[in-house]
Chains A and B, each alone.
Chain A
Amino acid sequence: DAGVTQSPTHLIKTRGQQVTLRCSPISGHKSVSWYQQVLGQGPQFIFQYYEKEERGRGNFPDRFSARQFPNYSSELNVNALLLGDSALYLCASSWDRGNQPQHFGDGTRLSIL
């Protein structure tokens, strides 16, 4: 079975632009979470979606938004990009119920010039 897939793998943007990152969960997984990993740090939780509803949000500004589609794939949008948004963006999926492990994709590396 395919793992969590993310696209694109790399992206270069300039300050002020907007970006959309995409994630397809493992087949059968209904929960998708997004994380931001700045160089030299551990990943930080941004959003969790389950059944197309936001179930959790980390300490990120309103420039960050996300949604989940009926097929459980998800998009992360970031508006008005800042230099500090340069990071590896990771998507994770898990089964919908109970305490289950998170499975991560390979991430999208976003560079802001």
Chain B
Amino acid sequence: GIQVEQSPPDLILQEGANSTLRCNFSDSVNNLQWFHQNPWGQLINLFYIPSGTKQNGRLSATTVATERYSLLYISSSQTTDSGVYFCAVADLSSGSARQLTFGSGTQLTVLP
């Protein structure tokens, strides 16, 4: 099956700093999503981005499908950004965009 690697595994920032999270995947995908899992376990949709670039406030994401990677940018980080960030993909060979394979996540801690 498809492999998803996220880096870095852990990231500690001071409030106000910027960061880049990376997601590499091993095969062509028809779905790529970024999620934020808060300390209460809620998995929050950030972006649906199988290709191209999107922005939502302080967050933006870019997926280069031909090179099999995606980047999540967080600018002016806040303590509420803390949590685990997951990249999840569905590969074309599965025939469904709804069977997601998750990476192992990036644990982000933003210090006040």
Binding site for B on A (CB under 8 A): 31, 33, 35, 37, 41-45, 48, 50, 55-56, 58, 88, 90, 92, 94, 98-104, 106-107, 109
Contacts and interface: CB of A to CB of B under 8 A. Distances in A.
B33 A101 contact: yes
B97 A99 contact: yes
Contacts of A109: 41
B78 interface: no
Interface residues of B, number: 25
Interface centre among A33, A104, A109 (most CB of B within 10 A): A104
8 contacts: A42-B102, A42-B103, A42-B104, A48-B98, A55-B96, A56-B94, A58-B99, A94-B98
Nearest to A104: B43
A20 to B, nearest CB: 20
Contacts, number: 69
A91 B40 CA distance: 16
Contacts of A90: 43
A44 B50 contact: no
Interface in B53-111: 86, 88, 90, 94, 96-105
Interface class of chain A by DSSP: strand
B41 A48 contact: no
A48 B99 contact: yes
Nearest to A49: B98
Contacts of A37: 41
